[in-house]
A and B are shown apart, each in its own frame.
Chain A
Amino acid sequence: MDKIRQTILDFVEREYKLPENVDYDTFDFVEKGFVDSMGMVQFVAILEDEFDIEFSADELLSNDFKTVGGLEKLIQKKVNKK
């Protein structure tokens, strides 16, 4: 599996596995409680460190930050821009 997706899933699924056959592009892991506000602080720092990128405040609040697929694309875009 792609490293970006694996890093995201390792964190999101730390306590609970995502449901079987979940649609990564639409499943909102924040709304469903897989990452809470305390976990989010750690999640952002790990992603920024792992991929040497920095998220803007708008990006953190965007819908992309709530799905595995959206976040994967966002990170990929930022990595490509470097």
Chain B
Amino acid sequence: MRSALANLFYENAKLTPNKEAIWCDGKIVSYREMAELVSRYSNLLLSLKAAHGDHIAIPMNNSIESVALFFSAADLGLCVVPLNPSLPFDAVKTAIVAGDVKHIIARKIFFSECEKNGGISIPGFSICLDQDYPGTIPFDKIKEMPATRPELDYDVDDNESLVLTMTSGSTGAPKPIDMSQKNKYERSMAHIRVYNLTKNDRILAATPLYHSLAERLVILPLILGATSILLPRFTPAIWLKCAEEQKPTFTIAVSAQLAQILELLKQPDAPSITSFRSIVSSSALLEDSVKYELIDLLKCEFHEMYGASEVSTVTDICFQETPNKQHSVGKPFDEAKIRILHDDDNGSVRDCAIHEVGEIAVKSKLQCKSYYKQENLMQTAMVDGYFRTGDLGYLDEDGYLYFAGRKKEIIITGAINVYPHDIDVVVGRLPEIEECAAFSYPDERLGEIVALAVVPKEGQEINLRALKSYCARNLADFQQPHKFFVLNKLPKNAMGKLQRMAILEYVQ
């Protein structure tokens, strides 16, 4: 038995070999060329003795080769562990251990950074993508590989892990979200159905490929026989230029991006973008004004969705179709059911009444397998088969979901989840700091930014510049505090527990 994802892709390559499969950074690759690239990649990995079920880490950028790796891994029954290329060395090491990584594919800069920091030990091979680097296999070897799909002497099962997405940052135990081939297939199929996607669609992915949203947006078109448009890097100007030239018909964008795009679209010399049939906003609620102006300027169906990496998209709403539910994030996909839960003081859990705010819990056929090797953590998050999202919301009498905030202490900056505890642990290592807490600070551009409150030890002073440098070198780019506050204490409750959500009010 071969992978269903890979089978669908290869079938499309057979049916429409000359059709444009993917565009990225000015390069167009046809289905025939993409199938050859995927096959060559598979043959390269097999020639290096990649074994069924092996985990391969890759500091992943948005490129055609990265997309090919997903399909090659699916075909061979391997698991990809995409890493954010800005992760500092310690975080890379932690992720490699947590993800049981056997092989690494990376650029020279990654290997040289690792070497400077004492090296990373992995049992398998290392491939260097851009140049020769001692101890690694040059990616150029792919050119010597056969361009035909390799035969396998084993079966690839749909329940095998295909992608481990790291959800936590630089310290502690990351929670790798374990997604099977079946997860990726069913998530794609659900989106194809809900958004009426066809082979004629040109589907734009404009977020990093090391997150599940962009993974879905590149896998989906290639198993559908449509065209994938992969933005190499996001700036609103690059997005607009791509939209003008590549004429995408569908995208799921993150709300922080859409707000920035609107700013540019309102300029007098902005191009007219008319190709979109529908746009979906995800990650955080869009402000009404942004939503209405975008609808007016892009003249397409406008959707908003609610979801989480663990359970994929849960709800969707099309604003033109439901004008009376403008502040809702929609009704559940067929695959999902929602409950709104309230924890009573006696430790029991009950369902909330209509319009009563509680924690959003989701039961979905699209749910990930688990947290890799941390099934107990997944179990802790489940109630009667429903995954507790950590988000707050309520349902109305028609079953529409409304988002009402977050229960989890999490900062979402430019659609990236930042776990403040990860930052606390790294900064807390500094000898002059008594205690510290990262927290969410509102920002017009990114929605939220990371802020950091620090309390110095008695008699000690905080050198802000040194603190910024320390953060720059020990945290990933998305974890960088943009604002610093030196306090004499942090807000805590009567039990002495940090009230992270209260820090913003406290510093103001």
**A binding-site residues for B, Cβ under 8 Å:** 10, 13-17, 30-34, 36-39, 41-43, 45-46, 48-49, 54
Most chain B beta-carbon neighbours within 10 Å: one of A17, A39, A41, A54: A41
**B binding-site residues for A, Cβ under 8 Å:** 59, 61, 85-86, 107, 109, 130, 232-235, 237-238, 413-414, 416, 445-446, 465, 468-469, 471-473, 475, 477-478, 480-482
Asked whether B477 lies within 8 Å of A38 as measured between CB atoms, the reply is: yes
Asked whether A38 lies within 8 Å of B414 as measured between CB atoms, the reply is: yes
What are 23 A-B residue pairs whose CB atoms fall within 8 Å in the complex? A14-B109, A15-B61, A15-B86, A16-B232, A31-B235, A31-B237, A32-B238, A33-B232, A36-B235, A36-B477, A38-B413, A38-B477, A39-B86, A41-B477, A41-B482, A42-B475, A42-B477, A45-B471, A45-B480, A46-B469, A46-B473, A49-B472, A49-B473
A73 CB to closest chain B CB, in angstroms? 22
Task: Give the docked Cα–Cα distance between A62 and B26 (Å).
Answer: 29
B266 CB to closest chain A CB, in angstroms? 19
Measured between beta carbons, the chain B residues less than 8 angstroms from A49 are 465, 468-469, 472-473
Q: Which of B107, B233, B480 contacts A42 (CB 8 A)?
A: B480
Most chain A beta-carbon neighbours within 10 Å: one of B237, B445, B477, B480: B477
B88 CB to closest chain A CB, in angstroms? 10
Asked whether B472 lies within 8 Å of A42 as measured between CB atoms, the reply is: yes
Asked whether A33 lies within 8 Å of B473 as measured between CB atoms, the reply is: no
Q: Which of B413, B465, B472 contacts A54 (CB 8 A)?
A: B465
Measured between beta carbons, the chain B residues less than 8 angstroms from A31 are 235, 237
B506 CB to closest chain A CB, in angstroms? 23
Task: Give the docked Cα–Cα distance between A42 and B109 (Å).
Answer: 17
Most chain B beta-carbon neighbours within 10 Å: one of A36, A37, A42, A45: A42
| Given pairs A42-B471, A42-B472, 7 additional interface contacts (CB within 8 A) | A13-B109, A14-B109, A17-B130, A36-B235, A46-B469, A46-B473, A49-B468
Measured between beta carbons, the chain A residues less than 8 angstroms from B414 are 36-38
- List the 4 shortest-distance A-B pairs measured between CB atoms, nearest first: A33-B233, A45-B472, A49-B469, A41-B480
Task: Give the docked Cα–Cα distance between A17 and B25 (Å).
Answer: 12
B443 to A, closest residue via Cβ: A37
Task: Give the docked Cα–Cα distance between A14 and B87 (Å).
Answer: 10
Measured between beta carbons, the chain A residues less than 8 angstroms from B413 are 38
Task: Give the docked Cα–Cα distance between A46 and B468 (Å).
Answer: 9
Measured between beta carbons, the chain B residues less than 8 angstroms from A13 are 109
Measured between beta carbons, the chain B residues less than 8 angstroms from A48 are 465, 468-469
A12 CB to closest chain B CB, in angstroms? 11
Q: Which of A14, A33, A34 contacts B86 (CB 8 A)?
A: A14
Measured between beta carbons, the chain B residues less than 8 angstroms from A17 are 107, 130
Asked whether A15 lies within 8 Å of B465 as measured between CB atoms, the reply is: no
A14 CB to closest chain B CB, in angstroms? 6
